[in-house]
Amino acid sequence: MNIVLLGAPGAGKGTQAAKLVEEFNLPHISTGDMLRAAVKAGTELGKKAKSYMDAGNLVPDEVIIGLVIERLAEPDTQVGFILDGFPRTTAQAVALDAELAKLERPLDAALLIDVDPEVIVRRLTARRMCRDCGYIGSAADAVCPKCAGEMYQRDDDNEATVRNRLDVYDKSTSPLVDYYRGCDVLVSIDGDRDPNVVYADVKQALTA
């Protein structure tokens, strides 16, 4: 199964991806996670990406496209993949299509997790992540409920940056909804519900 997860930051793409990974054992390719790992490791890529990420802006297409193409060349993606947070611009979507055509691995679905922007602001400013296992929780989690690791707030989850990320989504990424509708692979799912209920719809859409 070759899947793209679409939706604004905080719509729940990471949460749904984790459930898909658990059930279908597909590699989860999150460009945000890859960039955060590069920042943490202090690599050239991380140094280039950090200022864009801190401001809630997009890292330039030429940086991110190469990263994803390299990742798709790894053997674990032969069984399929879940792309989370990529593509985010039309140029990225076009580059992805070209690469997948070359690999003869077309997309099966572009799943849009649809959530109202004001709900997202509330969700993201309350979001906390586990430093050890990446669990996504909330300000109510003193320690990670999965592994007892330390919970932290992402630098870009403050309200001003969240609002900028939503503006960037509106301008640069939301046109991809029509793009994938035109390719006949778009499935839109109401993401403003319990994550398990959302997942039931995700699974049905993928296995129907």
| Residues binding ligand AMP (CB under 6 A) | 9, 31-32, 35, 52-53, 56-59, 64, 85-86, 88, 92, 156, 165
Residue with tokens 């989690």: 141
Is there a contact between 164 and 56 (Cβ–Cβ < 8 Å)?
yes
Burial class (CB in 10 A: 0-12, 13-18, 19+), 198: buried
Output the smallest distance, CB 93 to ligand AMP, in A.
10
For residues 86 and 135, which CB has a smaller minimum distance to ligand AMP in the complex?
86
Is there a contact between 8 and 85 (Cβ–Cβ < 8 Å)?
no
Output the smallest distance, CB 17 to ligand AMP, in A.
11
For residues 9 and 199, which CB has a smaller minimum distance to ligand AMP in the complex?
9
Supply the residues annotated as catalytic. Answer: 13, 88, 127, 154, 165
The residue of the chain with the least Cβ separation from ligand AMP equals 32
Alpha helices by DSSP H, the chain: 13-24, 31-41, 44-55, 61-72, 90-103, 117-126, 159-168, 175-182, 195-207
For residues 57 and 188, which CB has a smaller minimum distance to ligand AMP in the complex?
57
For residues 43 and 204, which CB has a smaller minimum distance to ligand AMP in the complex?
43
Query: What gap in Å lies between CA 158 and CA 26, rounded to an integer?
Result: 31
Output the smallest distance, CB 168 to ligand AMP, in A.
7
Output the smallest distance, CB 54 to ligand AMP, in A.
8
